[in-house]
Structure 1
Amino acid sequence: MSDTSVQDRIDRYWTGRAPAYDDHQQRPERRELDRAVWADVWSSVLPAAPADVLDVGTGSGHVACLLASLGHTVTGIDLAEGMLDRAREHAAGLARPPRFLRGDAVAPDFPDGSFDAVTGRYVMWTLRDPVAAVRRWAALLRPGGVVAVVDSTWFPEGLDAGGEAFAAAYDEEVRAALPLAAARSIDETADVLRAAGLDGVEVTALEAVLELDRAHGVAPGHEVRMQHAVSGRVPV
């Protein structure tokens, strides 16, 4: 299966999933708690604001909108049009909204040296060729720039655990194209950043996020799992 066919199938799934996925993320009972916890997560790994940030696989814009509200200049890219629609709705109410563009997280189309940081939340596991992707992100950064991603080992027992619709979209052919889809350790993600040439790669367990998930639950088809921030820097 070609890269294009793989990505098209992934994009169709997430476009269809966008309303339910975003509604879950916007639940009022944890919205402000999420904001506080995630502001701490990102502030701990990113340059001080204002920085130019590219949020890859931005989805419904959760990270991009939060970072913009913290004073960063943010561009979010995604290939799932349904997700971008939701992201633009959320951005419309912000004083300094991110810009949202259709773009491939594996090969973002911007001039080299355009950003101070690249972020991604829940993206690494569903990337075609993650090492090539992170190398491209690094090229987009200025000297000393940071790549900071958050992810987990969502499907260590296999992607069938995600439910029928999910398993149909992420069938055997798609899974074969996604090296981190069934990762058993977050070290596999950290190793990707190292293989892409980043320095000082660090892995941080997000205990506060775990506590929120235990208290309020996670999206249907998922289990409560420890999430990690994984970051590295472009050599100066």
Structure 2
Amino acid sequence: MTAQDRINAYWTGRAPAYDAYQQRPERLDADAAAWAEIWKQALPPAPIDVLDVGTGSGHVAMAVAGLGHRVTGIDLSEGMLAEARKHASAASNPPDFRLGDAVAPDFPDDSFDAIVGRYVMWTLREPATAVANWKRVLRPGGLVVMVDSTWFPDGLDEEMQPGVTAFYDAEVRSMLPLATAKSIDETALALANAGLTDVSVTPLTTIFQLDQEYGVSPGHEVQMQFLISGRA
């Protein structure tokens, strides 16, 4: 089993519980409204062609499609894709969910107007390669818009949930340069170093306030999340 296989297996195992947490009824409407506004402000007016890399259970893809965009979501976790397809089956403008690698998306050059992702940058092997490949499949002037935070600044060993190191072992952790970033500037630099321009970082205060009100998942603390964007 390769390192990427172990990452995929971890997320497939977590998929049902992960998605259930995203769909918590007490927070669902407020979350949907907040994220819809975030993506509306971050992206050009609909419709454009959007690729959601590391789509997971489809949270971002569904929100962006809900704005009227044409969305393709890719992930290497079959379990996550199964959850995403359940959501798509009830949507009026469903994303196209496919098995695919966020680091090396298998699409022709100039296929998309924007590439989006949430909680993806930290778990990317070779983020420089990933962003270079994103540039390739973007049309001229296209956008990369990522959401992330500094989830594990003290190291994955101390912070992640018990049992996860069976998958995120030493080999896997050595491949993920942004997993233990101490500043979101490291994520922004990954975009800039790959040749994106107009790189900016925006704190997501509405999500921070929702996290304060409703709490966050076990093993995490309430902390600021950021929207990091750049232009091809």
**TM-score interval (norm. to shorter):** over 0.9
Deviations 1:103-130 (A, max 9, x none): 0000000001000000010000000100
Is the contact between residue 21 and residue 219 of structure 1 (CA under 8 Å) also seen in structure 2?
Answer: no
> Which amino acid in 1 is paired with 2:116?
T
- What is the deviation of 1:95? 0.8
**Any stretches of 5+ residues in structure 1 without a counterpart?**
none
> Is structure 2 residue 70 aligned with structure 1 residue 103?
no
Rounded to whole Å, the distance in 2 between the matches of 1:212 and 1:74 is 26
The residue matched to 1:146 in structure 2 has which SS? strand
Q: Given residue 144 of structure 1, which amino acid in structure 2 is its aligned partner?
A: G
Q: Residues 217 and 224 of structure 1 are in contact (CA less than 8 Å); yes or no, is this contact kept in structure 2?
A: yes
In structure 2, runs of 5+ residues without a counterpart are: none
Runs of 4+ in 1 over 2 A off after TM superposition: none
Which residue number corresponds to residue 164 of structure 2?
Answer: 166
Matched, 1:22 2:26: no
Specify the alignment match of 1:140 in structure 2. 137
- Three-state SS of the structure 1 residue aligned to 2:25 is coil
Query: 1:32: which partner in 2?
Result: 29
1:140-174 Cα distance to aligned partner (Å, 9 max, x none): 11111000000000000111211112233212111
Q: Which residue number corresponds to residue 211 of structure 1? A: 209
Deviations 1:24-83 (A, max 9, x none): 000011111011111111112111110100000000000001111110000000000000
From 111, 125, 129, the counterpart of 2:126:
129
Residue aligned with 2:163, SS: helix
* Partner of residue 9 from structure 1, selected from 6, 17, 20: 6
Q: How many residues align?
A: 231
Amino acid at match of 2:140: P
Q: Are 1:46 and 2:43 an aligned pair?
A: yes
TM-score (norm 2): 0.98
| Alignment partners' CA distance in 2, 1:169 and 1:215 | 32
Percent identity of paired positions between Structure 1 and Structure 2: 63
Equivalent residue number for residue 94 of structure 1:
91
Aligned to 2:219: 221
| TM-score with structure 1 setting the length | 0.96
Which residue of the partner structure matches residue 230 of structure 2?
A: 232
Write the distance in 2 (CA, Å) between the matches of 1:35 and 1:224.
19
Verify: 1:199 aligned to 2:173, yes or no: no
CA distance in 1, matches of 2:149, 2:163: 21
Query: How far apart, CA to CA, are the structure 1 residues paired with 2:222 and 2:76?
Result: 27
Q: Secondary structure at the match of 2:46?
A: coil
- Over aligned residue pairs, what C-alpha RMSD do you find? 0.9
Q: Secondary structure of the residue that 1:104 maps to in structure 2?
A: coil
Distance in 1 separating the partners of 2:165 and 2:152: 11
1:55/1:76 contact within 8 Å kept: yes
